[in-house]
């Protein structure tokens, strides 16, 4: 699992993700022997607002990922 997989989709460079969160999809990959795609990981505040995320979104805090 690479931190870049969690980076904000607006290409701002925000990729501050919790190290503990990175282990979850890696565990899923290993357990099921299948790829896991991160649809949304970190979001900067601007991108979070654009996609309709809440003001206290865990994505902005770097502690959430949609797979």
User: b/e per residue, 40-64, with b = 16+ CB within 10 A?
Assistant: bbbbbeebbeeeebeeebebbebeb
pTM as predicted? 0.85
30/7 Cα distance (integer angstroms): 22
17/8 Cα distance (integer angstroms): 10
**Per-residue pLDDT tens listing for the chain (67 residues):** 678 899 999 999 999 999 999 899 899 999 999 999 999 999 999 999 999 999 899 999 999 999 9
pLDDT tens string 48-67: 999 999 989 999 999 999 99
Query: 6 burial class (0-12, 13-18, 19+ CB within 10 angstroms)?
Result: buried
């Amino acid at each position: 699992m690479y931190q870049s997989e969690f980076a904000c989709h607006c290409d701002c460079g925000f990729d501050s993700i919790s190290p503990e969160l990175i282990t979850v999809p890696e565990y899923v990959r290993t357990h099921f022997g299948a790829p896991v795609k991160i649809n949304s990981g970190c979001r900067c505040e601007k991108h979070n607002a654009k996609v309709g995320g809440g003001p206290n979104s865990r994505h902005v805090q770097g502690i959430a990922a949609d797979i």
